[in-house]
């Protein structure tokens, strides 16, 4: 059994800061009061413990209050991506069979025509209340959230995440990162995403404040880090890149109290890590996925500089191995086991067991070195096989990103009559950058078969709501470009 997170936290540290946004802030007691009112209003609207609802909102304090209100009410929350199209949202609502869609009034345009009964934030606020006693202890197997995978292959799957999953993830993380009374986590990740929701979970489990941003703002983020008003932040590679650019503009370094920049969502180019050291930013690469309720492995601060490029070792309760690996360094699919791993899916994928012999096949390619450190090479679905040789896009992207005039790089495979597939690159770069510059740069660091056969200069790369590169869209660009020739 697990204590009801917010009830227990408000009892233990009622006056500690729980959330701040702009110039406003709320203690854990105030957070409990707001969430309780929402829970009672949801009850008045006919929602009962065990019901499954879908939630569509922005990263605002109101969204935080509604999330905690739903948790107090004992509801299963299907977290909908606010960047999805109306058609995609409709598909997920049909798949999850939510009884009610709770939606931010600002996003009502996105759900026009949807038949699921809808309850807006404003309607909840103006509702009457039906008070009831909250469940004080949660069963570890109780589903807390459901999040749909990004759907890199086939239809997205609704991933169940239990109270035990989230709690085990939070405890594993704190055993690795540590905790102080002054910790404040700057949250710029979408709250519907596992990286954003996990920050809210850690907040109530640890008694840690959250500094919330609705959108990523590199200038403001760097000011917070410089001034010492926050101690930790989660980012993806592109976010880290923008933060580094701002530090360069400011000619500044991080405040001594800043503890951790947790970098996930894919490999971080080595050049970024070298720049981060210059600005005294402790960047720790991490590895996780929706099915693992955030982190599975994270590089400890002690090893950050010694094991550049590694995602570290498994966190305390977790295990990782490489499929069919016979010795350290062998590439293969990464397999994961632990209490943070999902018990299963919902909807069309409900009959699909995520585990095989107790292990979760991640679909990622990686290796474990002789000291037990995990290195993620790439997604198995993104692997390019050219003339029998395996080519990993992330390796090429890393090299391209080390060029001083390249801002962003994305690599995918393109069908080829002779070689089966060849790598091509999409580049966001400075105006003076030429194809010849990139070819020469790659020749110095890559085998000839890994050098992109085409370079396309673009204004921006396709990314999802958490800024992860969408290589499947790059592949669509590649096909469209080839058809025009």
pLDDT at 354 over 50: yes
Q: Which of 113-122, 255-264, 303-312, 349-358 has the lowest mean pLDDT?
A: 303-312
109 inside domain: yes
How many Cα neighbours within 13 Å face the side chain of 145? 27
Dmax (CA) for the chain in angstroms is 70
pLDDT confidence bin for 485, thresholds 50/70/90: low
- Among 365, 381, 397, where does a domain finish? 381
Angle at 418 between CA 412 and CA 424, to 5 degrees: 20
CB-count exposure of residue 251 (10 Å: 0-12, 13-18, 19+): exposed
pLDDT of the residue at 62: 98
Question: Number of folded domains in the chain?
Answer: 3
Any domain includes 172: yes
- Mean local confidence (pLDDT), 339-344: 97
- Residue 411 shares a structural domain with residue 472: yes
Is residue 220 located within the same domain as residue 323? yes
Q: Please tell me whether residues 394 and 415 are part of one structural domain.
A: yes
Tens digit of each residue's pLDDT (9 = 90 or more) over 133-192: 999 999 999 999 999 986 444 578 999 999 999 999 999 999 999 999 999 999 999 999
The label of the residue with tokens 């003339």 reads 387
Q: What backbone torsions phi and psi does residue 179 show, to the nearest 5 degrees?
A: -155, 140
| Residue bearing the bigger pLDDT, 295 or 379 | 295
Q: Which residue has the higher pLDDT, 29 or 443?
A: 29
Q: How remote is the C-alpha of 119 from its chain's centroid?
A: 27
Q: Is the pLDDT of residue 481 over 70?
A: no
**What residues contact 326, with CB distance under 8 A and at least 6 apart?**
none
Q: Which of 334, 350, 381 is the last residue of a domain?
A: 381
Range from 146-155, 241-250, 354-363, 389-398 carrying the lowest mean pLDDT: 146-155
Single pTM value for the model? 0.84
**Mind listing the pLDDT tens digit for each residue in 277-321?**
899 999 998 999 899 999 999 987 668 778 888 899 999 999 999
Same domain assignment for residues 313 and 183: yes
Model pLDDT for residues 13-28, shown as the tens digit of each residue: 999 999 999 999 999 9
pLDDT tens string 182-227: 999 999 999 999 999 999 999 999 999 999 999 999 999 999 999 9
**Span 462-478, pLDDT tens digits:** 988 777 888 888 888 88
CA gap 437, 449 in Å, rounded: 18
Note the Cα 389 to chain centre separation in Å: 31
Q: Can you give the pLDDT at residue 238? A: 79
Distance CA 328, CA 139 (A): 39
Of 51-55, 262-266, 398-402, the poorest mean pLDDT is in 262-266
Q: Kindly state whether residues 240 and 272 are assigned to the same domain.
A: yes
Written as six digits, the tokens of 56 are 């569509």
479 domain-assigned = yes
> CB 254: neighbour CB atoms within 10 A?
19
**Is 196 a member of any domain?**
yes
Domain membership flag for residue 242? yes
CATH code where residue 426 lies: 3.30.300.30
Q: Is residue 114 part of a domain?
A: yes
Structure tokens at 126: 């103006």
Quick one: pLDDT at residue 301?
65
Asked if residue 151 is part of any domain, the answer here is: no
User: What pLDDT, on a 0 to 100 scale, did the predictor assign at position 153?
Assistant: 45
The CATH number for 93's domain is 3.40.50.980
341 and 199 part of one domain: yes
- The pLDDT score that the predictor gives to residue 453 is 94
One domain for residues 415 and 334: no
Q: Are residues 262 and 234 in the same domain?
A: yes
Query: Which residue range(s) make up the domain with 30?
Result: 2-138
348 and 387 in a single domain? The answer is no
Q: What is the pLDDT of residue 395?
A: 82
Last residue within a domain, chosen from 366, 381, 396: 381
CA dist 124 and 293 (Å) reads 29
Confidence (pLDDT) at 194:
92
Average pLDDT over residues 88-114: 93
Three-state secondary structure along the chain? CEECHHHHHHHHCCCCEEEEECCEEEEHHHHHHHHHHHHHHHHHCCCCCCCEEEEECCCCHHHHHHHHHHHHCCCEEEECCCCCCHHHHHHHHHHHCCCEEEECHHHHHHHCCCCCCEEEHHHHHCCCCCCCCCCCEECCCCEEEEEECCCCCCCCCEEEEEHHHHHHHHHHHHHHHCCCCCCEEEECCCCCCHHHHHHHHHHHHHCCEEEECCCCCHHHHHHHHHHCCCCEEEEEHHHHHHHHHHHHHHCCCCCCCCCEEEEECCCCCHHHHHHHHHCCCCEEEEEEEHHHCEEEEECCHHHCCCCCCCCEEECCCCEEEECCCCCCCCCEEEEEECCCCCCCEEHHHCCCCCCECCEEEEEEEEEECCCCCEEEEEEHHHCEEECCEEECHHHHHHHHHCCCCEEEEEEEEEEECCCEEEEEEEEEECCCCCHHHHHHHHHCCCCHHHCCCCEEECCCCCECCCCCECHHHHHHHHHHHHHHC
Whether 152 maps to a domain, the answer reads: no
Per-residue model confidence (pLDDT) at position 150: 60
The pLDDT score that the predictor gives to residue 86 is 84
State whether 220 and 364 are in the same domain. Answer: yes
pLDDT tens digits for 421-452? Answer: 899 999 999 989 999 999 999 988 887 889 99
Q: What CATH number did the domain enclosing 322 receive?
A: 3.40.50.12780
Q: Which of 280, 282, 288, 275 is nearest to 304 (CA)?
A: 282
Same domain for 346 and 412, yes or no, is no
Whether residues 311 and 347 fall in one domain: yes
Render pLDDT for 222-275 as a digit per residue (tens, 0 to 9): 999 999 999 999 998 878 989 999 999 999 999 999 999 999 876 677 788 888
| pLDDT at 30 exceeding the cut of 90 | yes
Residue 360 to residues 140, 231, 321: CA-CA distances in angstroms?
19, 33, 10
């Amino acid at each position: 059994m697990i204590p009801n997170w917010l009830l227990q936290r408000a009892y233990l540290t009622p006056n500690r800061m729980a959330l701040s946004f702009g110039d406003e802030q709320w203690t854990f007691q105030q957070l409990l009061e707001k969430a309780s009112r929402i829970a009672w209003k949801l009850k008045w609207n006919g929602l009962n413990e065990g019901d499954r609802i879908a939630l569509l909102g922005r990263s605002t304090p109101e969204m935080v209050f509604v999330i905690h209100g739903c948790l107090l009410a004992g509801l299963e929350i299907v977290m909908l991506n606010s960047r999805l199209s109306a058609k995609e949202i409709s598909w997920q609502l049909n798949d999850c069979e939510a009884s009610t869609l709770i939606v931010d009034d600002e996003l009502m345009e996105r759900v026009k025509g949807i038949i699921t009964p809808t309850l807006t934030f404003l309607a909840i606020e103006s509702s009457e209340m039906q008070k009831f006693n909250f469940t004080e202890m949660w069963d570890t197997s109780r589903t807390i959230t459901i999040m749909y995978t990004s759907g890199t292959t086939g239809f997205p799957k609704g991933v169940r995440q239990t109270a035990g999953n989230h709690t085990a993830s939070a405890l594993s993380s704190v055993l690795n990162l540590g905790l102080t009374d002054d910790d404040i986590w700057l949250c710029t990740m979408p709250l519907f995403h596992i990286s954003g929701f996990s920050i809210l979970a850690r907040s109530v489990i640890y008694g840690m404040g959250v500094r919330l941003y609705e959108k990523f703002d590199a200038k403001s983020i760097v000011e917070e880090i410089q001034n010492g008003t926050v101690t930790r932040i989660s980012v993806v590679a592109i976010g880290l890149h923008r933060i580094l650019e701002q530090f360069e503009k400011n000619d500044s370094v991080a405040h001594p109290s800043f503890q951790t920049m947790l970098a996930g969502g894919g490999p971080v180019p080595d050049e970024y890590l070298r720049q981060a050291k210059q600005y005294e930013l402790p960047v720790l690469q991490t590895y996780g996925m929706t099915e693992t309720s955030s982190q599975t492995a994270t590089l400890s601060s002690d090893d950050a500089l010694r094991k550049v490029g590694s995602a570290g070792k498994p966190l305390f309760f977790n295990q990782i191995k490489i499929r069919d690996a016979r010795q350290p360094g062998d590439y293969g699919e990464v397999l994961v086991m632990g209490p943070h791993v999902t018990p299963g899916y919902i909807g069309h994928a409900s009959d699909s067991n995520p585990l095989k012999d107790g292990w979760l096949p991640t679909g990622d390619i990686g290796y474990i070195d002789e000291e037990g450190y995990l290195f993620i090479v790439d997604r198995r679905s993104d692997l390019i096989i050219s003339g029998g040789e395996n080519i990993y896009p992330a390796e090429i992207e890393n090299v391209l990103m080390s060029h001083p005039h390249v801002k962003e790089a994305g690599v995918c495979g393109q069908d080829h009559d002779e070689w089966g597939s060849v790598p091509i690159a999409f580049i966001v770069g400075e105006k003076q950058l030429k194809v010849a510059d990139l070819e020469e740069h790659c020749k110095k660091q890559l085998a000839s078969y890994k050098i992109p056969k085409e370079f396309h200069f673009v204004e921006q790369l396709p990314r999802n709501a958490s800024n992860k590169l969408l290589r499947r869209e790059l592949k669509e660009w590649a096909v469209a470009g080839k058809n025009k020739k």
